[in-house]
Structure 1
Amino acid sequence: MKLFRHFDLNLLRVFVTLMQERHVTRAALKLHLSQPAISHALKRLREGLDDPLFVRIEQGMQPTPRAEALLPTVVQALALLEQGLAPPASFAPATSARHFTLATTDYFEEVMYPLFLSRLLGQAPGLSFSIELITPDALDEGLKSRQVDMVVGLDSRVELPTGVVSTPWLDEEWVCLAAADNVQVGASLTLGDFAALAHVELADISGLGLGPIDGCLRAHGLSRRVISRNLNYIAAARVVALTGAIMTLPRHMAERFIALLPVRLVEAPPELGALTLTLIQHELYAREPATAWLFDELRAFAISQTASGWPDSCP
């Protein structure tokens, strides 16, 4: 053990090459080193192993019994090191049966996931997915233990645990929905008018705390009255269609409901800003080939949808 702590593993490559070539000059040429460098390495090997290892003969160098005995072990050790230090095999989506678990929002699941999955299965038919709710546990222990591969679509303003990597993924615009016959709400809203109206919102079953809308109102000394907290967007939109309340949601989600329900779009107060959605991974696994491939596919999909004006979104 004491020897190993001070032993230069690069010397083992010199040893194996000398065993193959049985000649210092030929070993130097093969390793692209100078002859003095090989001679110095051999001196260090002899001192470290307390054995001459090679003796000069007329045809070159003859290995000692100790050198002969060492060769299989050294060759095997170098092969194991090379195998262990090699980069991981690339991900082959066309033949993979990998199962991915995504923790995500209603927005991604409704607006993007069906089309994304259909396109993905075109090049990777053996893949499968599970969709889970974004929770504090999913963001922390779920990502750390690989029970969750990626968190998709979380607001960039949410505070994250240590050890995770958040990447901006997609920018969305906040809009409001109002009933088609709601004459109390115009085509756009000031922040004061917005705060004065009754609201429908999604219940915070994620446990991630104050959302961006209430945070904005609080920063301006305002608050709102929420008359209904619903578990999903469609139920909330139905409440809006039958009451004088409004709801605030990403534009492309809101557009889904125009053709389904008697509701209309209303421009949200500019103070609400934009909604930046993210892709979140644990830094331990961000370079794992399958996860890296999925990350790239999600980014490419978002870019393609943005560039094309979302023409391929499911109705």
Structure 2
Amino acid sequence: MTIDHHNLRNFDLNLLIAFDALMKDRSVTLAAHRLRVGQPAMSHNLATLRLLFDDELLVRTRNVMTPTTRALALHSHVAAALDAAQLAISYEDDFDPVRSNRTFTIGISTEDALIAPSLGDSVGDIALIARRLLGCDIPNALDNHEVDAVISCSVPGASRFSNELLFEQPLMCCYRGATETWSVQRFETAHYVLVAPNSGGQGCISDLLTQVGYDLQISLVVPDYLSALEAAANSQLTAILPDPMATHFAGIFGLSATPAPIAVQLPPVHLIWVSHNEGDRGIAWLLGRIREVVSRASLPRGN
């Protein structure tokens, strides 16, 4: 049900508190005492309620006031609304990672997938969901609570978001054969497998190399870094990866990894979250957990 904020704004919600007290005490005097107001004020509240609902609501019979059928129907809804309001007002965030079974969703890009597998270690009954997220979708995903935090090289500029540097991303060349220093000439003449998450062949690396004027010989385009490493391991192609991915996975695929001989690197990876969520102990735990994993991985942080 959609809330009609304009209609509620024109209604004195304090009258609902008075109505609840009247229904519980069935007495103007007792209801006034419960709310610590004078009896004339409570009588005025009852008169206003009768006018607004076009019903007597409470009818005096002998020594008590008997609710009408309309009053009984109204009170079930009013009491539930007041209970919910009191629960919201008195809510305390008692998040405890040892006992919690809360689910958190983290937005990641292809470039940042290295962190996700390590986040689920030793988190008890907490569930962590890693969701692929393009840079252009980050603001809406955070605003709509589709994700609780984002790990990405695309940082939204809006002030409602907070961010901090997680690690830098120097470029590395991964290839078969012995490890050796690459010259610029070798870099420019090699054949490559390139990572581009979308079908148009565009990604952080391809965009960066185009911007700095490198027209490399791209023989294969794949959607993720592990596919690029697999292709390089089974061919003479060279995979271009950010340092964290190359350092972690190149050896597993039997590949050598050498820094690219060009003075460029991918945009650094940041941790991003909605600023006003910092008071949520669960979100604070999640952010700390991500920082802990990054620190343990000894990822490059720059100077």
Same fold (TM over 0.5): yes
Report what 2:251 is aligned to. Answer: 259
Matches within 5 A, 1:1-315: 8-21=12-25, 24=28, 26-48=30-52, 49=54, 51=56, 53=58, 62-63=64-65, 65=66, 67-82=67-82, 87=88, 94=99, 96=101, 104-105=108-109, 108-109=112-113, 111-120=114-123, 123-124=124-125, 127=127, 153-156=151-154, 168=163, 170-179=166-175, 181=178, 183=180, 185=182, 196-198=188-190, 200-207=192-199, 210-237=202-229, 240=232, 246-260=238-252, 261-266=254-259, 269-277=262-270, 293=282, 298-310=286-298
Q: Percent sequence identity over matched residues?
A: 19
The unaligned stretches of length 5 or more in structure 1 are 159-164
Q: For the aligned residues, what is the CA RMSD?
A: 5.2
Alpha-carbon shift at residue 78 of structure 1 (Å): 1.5
- Inter-partner Cα distance in structure 1 for 2:163 and 2:195: 24
Aligned partners of 2:198 and 2:223 also within 8 Å: no
TM-score by length of 1: 0.60
Aligned partners of 1:195 and 1:222 also within 8 Å: no
Cα distance per residue 1:179-234 (max 9 Å; x no partner) = 45365605xx6xxx697243534443534763223323333344322233345434
Q: 1:35 to 1:23 in 2, by over 3 A?
A: same
SS at the partner of 1:118?
coil
Query: How many residues of Structure 1 are paired with residues of Structure 2 in the alignment?
Result: 278
- Inter-partner Cα distance in structure 2 for 1:92 and 1:54: 50
Q: 1:194 to 1:74 in 2, by over 3 A?
A: farther
Aligned partners of 1:156 and 1:278 also within 8 Å: no
- Inter-partner Cα distance in structure 2 for 1:300 and 1:103: 16
- Inter-partner Cα distance in structure 2 for 1:70 and 1:300: 53
The unaligned stretches of length 5 or more in structure 2 are 1-6
SS at the partner of 2:173?
strand
Alpha-carbon shift at residue 303 of structure 1 (Å): 0.7
Matched AA of 2:288:
A
Cα distance per residue 1:10-45 (max 9 Å; x no partner) = 323213323444554543342244555323312312
